[in-house]
Amino acid sequence: MEIVVLRLGHRLERDKRVTTHIGLVSRALGAQGLLLAAEDKGVERSITRVAKRWGGEFFVKTGVRWRDELRRWQQAGGKVCHLTMYGANLHEVIDEIREAAEAERTPVLVVVGAEKVPFEVYETADWNIAIGNQPHSEIAALAIFLDRLQRGQELTARFEHAELEIVPSRRGKEVVVKEEE
C-alpha cells in the first residue's frame, strides 16, 4: 500500500520537533515519504539521517506547493485523507479507505495540518477523518490512522539496509550494529 504524508502549517521555529516527529512516525509506521509544505532543510536532513541509519526507503521533500500536490495526487488516481477532529469518525470510514487503497491499489496521501488548515483542503479531500472529536496531537492522530489503515501489519515490518536494529526484549536494551556489506 502506497502511503505518503503531507504536512501543512509548519512554522519553522515553533513546529520543528512536531514536524520531525510526524516524519518519524510516518516512516516507522509504513509511509513511503513525507512532503512538507514549508522549506525546512533541517527537518529534511534529520529525518533522512534516521532513515539511513535505521533502514528502509523513505523520502522527504520540503517546500512543496500543497495545492499543486493535492491536485496532482488526485489526477494520478490517488486518494486524499485529511486528518481533522471535524471529520467523519475513523471507525466509520476506515474500511472504505482501506478497500480503496488495497483493492484498487490506490495511493493514499494523508494530510496532517497544524492550527489553521485552509478550507480548500476540507473541500478537496476524499475523506476528512476524525480520530476523536476533541483537541489532540496530530502526531497521535497520524499514528492511530496509519495503524488502523494497515491493521497493525506495519508494526512487524523489516527495514532493509539498516545500520542499526533493535532486538526486542522485555528487559534491557539491545541494539545490533550491522557491518557494511
Reported confidence tier of residue 32, pLDDT bands at 50, 70, 90: very high
Domain coordinates in residue numbering, the chain: 3-177
**Phi-psi region at 81: left, alpha or beta (left = phi > 0; alpha = psi -120 to 50):** beta
- The whole model's pTM is what? 0.93
Cα gap 91→179, rounded to integer Å = 44
As a whole number, mean pLDDT of residues 21-49 equals 94
Reported confidence tier of residue 72, pLDDT bands at 50, 70, 90: very high
A 10 A CB-CB count for 58 gives: 21
CATH tag, 3-177: 3.40.1280.10
Residues in Cβ contact with 54 at an 8 Å cutoff, skipping those fewer than 6 apart: 159, 162, 163, 164, 165
C-beta of residue 57 within 8 angstroms of C-beta of residue 27: no
